[in-house]
DNA sequence: CGGCTCAGTCGAAGCGTTTCGACTAACCGC
DNA sequence: GCGGTTAGTCGAAACGCTTCGACTGAGCCG
């Protein structure tokens, strides 16, 4: 493995000149630079990351603090990660994967104190997330994907839940729905202070009230069974419901299954709109889900770019960014059934069946 | 940030003594060790990872080479990653996430040449995976999750597709099915040399032939639409099919949807068994999928442990390990419909409906 | 033309560890 | 009581880079 010494020797210049040619920290003449680059190419030189990190006190490593439970990553979160990975790689940085949740603060403290991280990207952020305090205390620049309750002096990229819920409710109201139930994440998740669950809850209340409608929210466990249970609860508490808005990607499948089992057709009897869902997942359901489509890898990319600005500029300015979700109408939403006359969607499906 | 110097000064010993007390590379008396540890605690000392890496020529970082496409990570792959992350962390190692596929060999070469990786874990391995050659050439220890065609001198952990397919086919044959169709990954994926697709194809042929049955495989795009299309093809080529074995997690949902659309009930008209599927995903479907359940995080853990053995022992012995998938019978499989008399599953479901 | 600035280069001092050789004392067997 | 281990400690030399201060000419201004 060639070192900078070797390159310097071969190019007949000093080590520092090689370094400057490589980093551009000081001006180097064209001729010298060419000699150096030629030597590097000949020796297949690659700078040693550890030595560089030690001398420059910059590791060029960013931490990706991603708590991973057994549920796996949804397409939405995976898109965040790929976006982040691509952006980091493009900037010459590396991503260190640390499945550190709010539980292992000691682990986080250790990692950050080892000066291995130039900055950190926090995922699965909770409203009161102690990881933020730890990193701030240790002087590690950070950016959130999601956001805490108090975002003072913090950069973040998050989904605009307010806009998303408003658009989804608006879509259903436009179709003529009045009795809309919101299926959220579980009660535990809410109690824990999981931001998206709380923010969508409030946004739903606001949106429904704004339309002069009564908001009804049902928490559901993150599983098919949770969705089934939620549907049962929903039908008990609002037997006349005609539409369901679902935040919970796992539950929505159980919910659809239970609707089918009970002989309620989608969208004729009940419309279903899924929140923050990737197209791929929306298409899995039958009928394909009308959904608010998550902004995808852009979130991760912007978060990394913001983080790098903090890292380089010694805490540049704060960037707080909310990304909208776009309404994508598919087969799971339609006008509510009107007494006597079949809906447009029903006619369409009948036609399809005849063709088949 | 305290350095080893500070600790040494406070404990009134030399720097090297502190180092030995920390790493245990040489014997240190109880008394001295205690003094050193006390000083460390008082100063909140954490060794600098870069300095340590430079001096020891070991970064304590393992690369996780995980190509990530837009599809997202399934629960199965996520489990591999969490298992790997946990095992690495337990051993005091860090995991560097590099979304490097067979495409970016230069990127990989650069990463590995920077001496930033003590070893690498390759995921999404293809039968002829050039990443293996690059890493071997650069002397980076590696372990595969999955395996190449030629596994000579390579350690890997993979799913035992042979056993898995045999068990799944066996389950269906035991139920009385004779006409079983296998829905695999896409033709492109097969052509690309994706191991699981090829291995299950061959295993399916062998298993069916072993039972004296005719094997029929249908490739399907990794999407709901792909599953729907595959079902259409399957019904055209084998109108009398009574069971489907599916490798393709995305396609299986489209397949179920299309079966429902066509009025074929599962499992009475058609049994469906999903391969290498996590319980969470299997439960999402209605009815819940009978599946070969993936071994989960154990795969990642074993892979990391093997990798660390190679890293420490300077290429210890090769470890090639196949992990079985367990059959988990749920609602999507049952005996084929027999002329005239309703199946057991049909009776059960009728009873359920009455109760509801 | 004397004094400036500035591009271009060099040497050397770190950065914070690990690790090697050397040294001392204590301990062993005989 | 003598060579030979061995436990325990120290000092110093790496490890491979960045970065600072200093030096040299060349170009420029008045």
Q: What is the pLDDT of residues A5-64, one digit of tens each?
A: 999 999 999 999 999 999 998 999 999 999 999 999 999 999 999 999 999 999 999 999
Mutation target for A interface from B67, B72, B248: give the one with most A CBs within 10 A: B72
**Residue predicted with more confidence, A125 or B349:** A125
Interval A198-209 mean pLDDT:
96
- Contact by Cβ (8 Å): B76, B282: no
Whether A256 and A318 map to the same domain: the answer is no
CB < 8 Å to A298, chain B: none
B346 has a pLDDT exceeding 80: no
Q: What is the CATH number of the domain that holds B91?
A: 3.40.50.2300
Q: Could you tell me which residues come within 8 angstroms of residue A312 by beta carbon, excluding any fewer than 6 positions away? A: none
A356 has a pLDDT exceeding 50: no
Whether A165 and A286 map to the same domain: the answer is yes
- pLDDT value of residue B70: 64
- pLDDT value of residue B172: 97
In a domain, A110, yes or no: yes
Asked if the Cβ of residue B52 lies within 7 A of any atom of strand C, the reply is: yes
In a domain, A10, yes or no: yes
In this prediction, residue B351 has a pLDDT band, given cuts at 50, 70 and 90, of low
User: Whole-number mean pLDDT of chain A?
Assistant: 91
- Interchain proximity A115–B48, CB inside 8 Å: yes
Angle at B298 between CA B297 and CA B303, to 5 degrees: 105
Whether A154 and A165 map to the same domain: the answer is no
User: A284: nearest CA in chain B?
Assistant: B224
| A137 HSE (CA, 13 A, CB side) | 10
Interval B258-282 mean pLDDT:
93
Interval B37-47 mean pLDDT:
95
Which candidate, B31, B130, B91, places its Cα nearest to that of B311?
A: B91
User: Whole-number mean pLDDT of chain B?
Assistant: 91
Whether B250 and B331 map to the same domain: the answer is yes
Whether A145 and A79 map to the same domain: the answer is yes
A355 has a pLDDT exceeding 70: no
- pLDDT value of residue B345: 56
In a domain, A52, yes or no: no
User: B250: nearest CA in chain A?
Assistant: A284
Which candidate, B187, B247, B242, B184, places its Cα nearest to that of B213?
A: B242
SS (H, E, C) B203-245: HHHHHHHHCCCCCEEEECCCCHHHHHHHHHHHHHHCCCCCEEE
SS (H, E, C) B39-85: HHHHHCCCCCHHHHHHHHCCCCEEEEECCCCCCCCCHHHHHHHHHHH
- pLDDT value of residue B338: 75
Whether A31 and A172 map to the same domain: the answer is no
- Interchain proximity B280–A107, CB inside 8 Å: no
Q: What is the CATH number of the domain that holds A35?
A: 1.10.260.40
- pLDDT value of residue B74: 77
- Contact by Cβ (8 Å): A331, A118: no
In a domain, B346, yes or no: no
Q: Could you give the CA distance from residue A188 to residue A169 in angstroms, rounded to a whole number?
A: 25
Whether A305 and A275 map to the same domain: the answer is no
The tokens 């979700």 sit on which residue?
A: A325
Q: Could you give the CA distance from residue B7 to residue B14 in angstroms, rounded to a whole number?
A: 9
In a domain, B25, yes or no: yes
Q: What percent of chain A has pLDDT over 90?
A: 78
Asked if the Cβ of residue B8 lies within 7 A of any atom of strand C, the reply is: no
- pLDDT value of residue A165: 97
- pLDDT value of residue B356: 44
B204 has a pLDDT exceeding 90: yes
B285 has a pLDDT exceeding 50: yes
- Contact by Cβ (8 Å): B183, B230: yes
Nearest nucleotide to A26, CA against C1' atoms: C8
- pLDDT value of residue A101: 77
A312 has a pLDDT exceeding 80: yes
Whether A147 and A72 map to the same domain: the answer is yes
**Residue predicted with more confidence, B259 or A353:** B259
The tokens 């939405």 sit on which residue?
A: A76
Whether A153 and A169 map to the same domain: the answer is no
A303 has a pLDDT exceeding 60: yes
Q: Could you tell me which residues come within 8 angstroms of residue A339 by beta carbon, excluding any fewer than 6 positions away? A: none
In a domain, B56, yes or no: no
Residue B103: count of CB within 10 angstroms of its CB: 11
In a domain, B142, yes or no: yes
Extract the tokens encoding A101: 């949740």
Whether B170 and B260 map to the same domain: the answer is yes
- pLDDT value of residue B69: 73
Whether B238 and B315 map to the same domain: the answer is no
Q: What is the pLDDT of residues B59-101, one digit of tens each?
A: 999 999 998 876 667 788 888 999 999 999 999 999 999 988 7
In a domain, A54, yes or no: no
Domain, as residue range, for B35 = 4-47
Q: What is the pLDDT of residues A159-189, one digit of tens each?
A: 999 999 999 999 999 999 999 999 999 999 9
Measured in angstroms, what separates residue B118's CA from nucleotide C23's C1'?
35
CB pairs under 8 A between A and B: 178
Question: Could you give the number of structural domains in chain B?
Answer: 3
B130 has a pLDDT exceeding 70: yes
Measured in angstroms, what separates residue B49's CA from nucleotide C20's C1'?
22
User: B356: nearest CA in chain A?
Assistant: A262
Whether B316 and B278 map to the same domain: the answer is no
Could you say which DSSP state residue B126 is in? B
Interval A221-246 mean pLDDT:
95
- Interchain proximity B284–A48, CB inside 8 Å: no
Cα A285 to Cα A269, B201, B218, distances in angstroms: 17, 27, 21
Which candidate, A321, A326, A247, A320, places its Cα nearest to that of A294?
A: A326
| A349 HSE (CA, 13 A, CB side) | 17
Calculate helix-pair angle for A30-43, A15-23, nearest 10 degrees. 100
Chain D positions with any atom < 7 A from a protein CB: 7-21
Residue whose Cα is closest to the C1' of C10: A14
Interval A80-91 mean pLDDT:
92
């Amino acid at each position: 493995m060639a070192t900078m010494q070797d390159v310097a020797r071969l190019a007949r210049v000093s080590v520092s000149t090689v370094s400057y040619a490589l980093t551009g920290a000081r001006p180097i003449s064209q001729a010298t630079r060419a000699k150096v680059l030629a030597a590097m190419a000949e020796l297949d030189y690659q700078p040693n990351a550890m030595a560089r990190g030690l001398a420059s006190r910059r590791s060029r490593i960013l931490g990706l603090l991603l708590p991973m439970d057994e549920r796996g990553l949804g397409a939405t979160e995976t898109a965040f990660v790929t976006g982040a990975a691509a952006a980091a790689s493009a900037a010459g940085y590396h991503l260190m994967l640390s499945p550190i949740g709010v539980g292992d603060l000691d682990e986080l403290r250790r990692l950050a104190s080892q000066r291995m991280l130039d900055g950190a990207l926090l995922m699965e952020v909770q409203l009161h997330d102690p990881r933020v305090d730890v990193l701030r205390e240790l002087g590690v620049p950070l950016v959130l994907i999601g956001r805490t309750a108090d975002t003072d002096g913090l950069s973040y990229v998050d989904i605009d839940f307010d806009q998303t819920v408003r658009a989804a409710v608006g879509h259903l109201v436009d179709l003529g729905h009045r009795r809309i139930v919101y299926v959220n994440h579980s009660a535990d998740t809410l109690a824990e202070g999981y931001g998206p669950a709380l923010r969508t809850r409030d946004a739903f209340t606001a949106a429904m009230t704004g339309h002069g409608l009564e908001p009804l929210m049902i928490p559901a466990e993150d599983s098919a069974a949770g969705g089934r249970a939620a549907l049962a609860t929903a039908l008990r508490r609002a037997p006349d419901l005609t539409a369901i808005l679902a935040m919970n990607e796992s539950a929505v499948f159980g919910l659809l299954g239970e609707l089918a089992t009970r002989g309620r057709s989608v969208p004729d009897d009940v419309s279903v709109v899924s929140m923050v869902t990737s197209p791929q997942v929306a298409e899995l359901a039958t009928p394909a889900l009308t959904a608010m489509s998550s902004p995808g890898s852009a979130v991760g990319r912007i978060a990394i770019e913001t983080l790098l600005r903090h890292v380089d500029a010694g805490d540049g300015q704060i960037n707080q960014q909310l990304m909208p979700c776009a309404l994508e109408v598919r087969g799971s939403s339609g006008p509510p059934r009107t007494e006597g006359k079949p809906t447009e969607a029903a006619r369409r499906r009948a036609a399809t069946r005849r063709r088949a």
